[in-house]
Structure 1
Amino acid sequence: MTLPADAQAALDSFEHCTGWEQRARLLMQWGQRLPELSEADKTDANRVHGCESQMWLVGKQVDGQWQFAASSEARLIRGLVALLLVRVNGLTTQELLQVDLPGWFEQLGLSRQLSPSRSNGLNAVLVRMRELAA
């Protein structure tokens, strides 16, 4: 499966990082690019449960392709979610169901920095995306 263009750009930028500090800085930059959700979208219905920090996710299908938006108060999580969104936005439902989340963060060189609670939170986001797509 070919990566969406934004995901490939993310992968290229992370491949040039030489250590964790560079990756962490890049992760924060990705998080800053994440558009803020409106207060109207920050409802309990859009809340992702299973995340330690508050997280909201909205998604809609446009011409057969999924477009998601998310928001979190935690800076590191915002970065991780931004990287998840570039991986899944523009996918069809079938492609979305096949996304290998651990593999994606492994490719980015970030999997070692994912604590169990962060991994669980990101998995909860992916599960929520798949629920919306079902």
Structure 2
Amino acid sequence: MTYDELVEEFDFLGDWEDQCDLLIDMGFELPKFPDECRTEENRVHGCQSNVWLIAQPVQGNSLKLDIRADSDAMIVRGLIAVLLTLYSGRTPQEVLDIDIREKFARLGLDQHLSSARRNGLNGMVQRVRGLARKCLAETAESGDE
């Protein structure tokens, strides 16, 4: 599902309870996260529940990020699915250019999530952005573009 399709679906559903159910369903569709990646190094700090996140560069016509994540909480898995919709398969610079607050506001996530969930979501966003910056720096150092 694209971000625009997600916005349409959220608009169609209207109320938060139905939107929350959709998020949970999206979480069930996440690709399997490798057990060996459930390490402290990959854990996102600041989240109320356990969240693990990795990003690997994939070389094609341009360098893109393959982002994978998982959580032990159903609603958080849904929020991860939203993040993957926005970030995965993009170049590191595209990741950094996304106005994530505007995207979340358009979905109404800023209104419906508890402060603890918002903090956790922000932690995931900061982790992805940090990995994108690291990838850009490594690319610049190696002279690849």
Which among 1, 7, 12 is matched to residue 8 of structure 2?
A: 12
Quick one: distance in 2 between partners of 1:34 and 1:46? Answer: 17
Find the counterpart in structure 2 of residue 42 from structure 1. 38
**Letter of the aligned partner of 2:103 in structure 1?**
W
User: How far off is 1:106 after superposition?
Assistant: 1.3
Quick one: distance in 1 between partners of 2:98 and 2:130? Answer: 14
Quick one: distance in 2 between partners of 1:120 and 1:101? Answer: 14
Quick one: distance in 1 between partners of 2:14 and 2:58? Answer: 38
Superposed CA offset, 1:56-109 (max 9, x none): 001111131111010000111111111111011122111111222221121112
Q: What are structure 2's unaligned runs of at least 5 residues? A: 135-145
**Letter of the aligned partner of 1:86 in structure 2?**
T
- Per chain length, whose mean CA-contact separation is higher, i.e. which structure has more relative contact order (CA < 8 Å, sep 6+)? 1
Find the counterpart in structure 2 of residue 82 from structure 1. 81
Quick one: distance in 2 between partners of 1:38 and 1:29? Answer: 20
The number of aligned residues is 130
Quick one: distance in 2 between partners of 1:10 and 1:61? Answer: 25
Contact 1:101 1:123 in 2 (8 A): no
> Which SS does the other structure have where 2:70 is aligned?
strand
> Which SS does the other structure have where 2:2 is aligned?
helix
Quick one: distance in 1 between partners of 2:51 and 2:36? Answer: 14
Of 104-113 and 75-84, more deviation after overlay is shown by 104-113
Identical-residue share of aligned pairs (%): 38
Larger Rg: 2
Q: What are structure 1's unaligned runs of at least 5 residues? A: none
Contact 1:37 1:69 in 2 (8 A): yes
- The yes-or-no answer on 1:55 pairing with 2:54 is no
Quick one: distance in 2 between partners of 1:73 and 1:24? Answer: 16
User: How far off is 1:9 after superposition?
Assistant: 2.2
**Letter of the aligned partner of 1:81 in structure 2?**
I
Find the counterpart in structure 1 of residue 117 from structure 2. 118
Quick one: distance in 2 between partners of 1:110 and 1:45? Answer: 27
Quick one: distance in 2 between partners of 1:121 and 1:101? Answer: 14
Superposed CA offset, 1:6-53 (max 9, x none): 222222221211211211111111111112312101011111111110
**Letter of the aligned partner of 1:69 in structure 2?**
R
Quick one: distance in 2 between partners of 1:6 and 1:89? Answer: 11
Find the counterpart in structure 2 of residue 32 from structure 1. 28
Of 106-115 and 64-73, more deviation after overlay is shown by 106-115
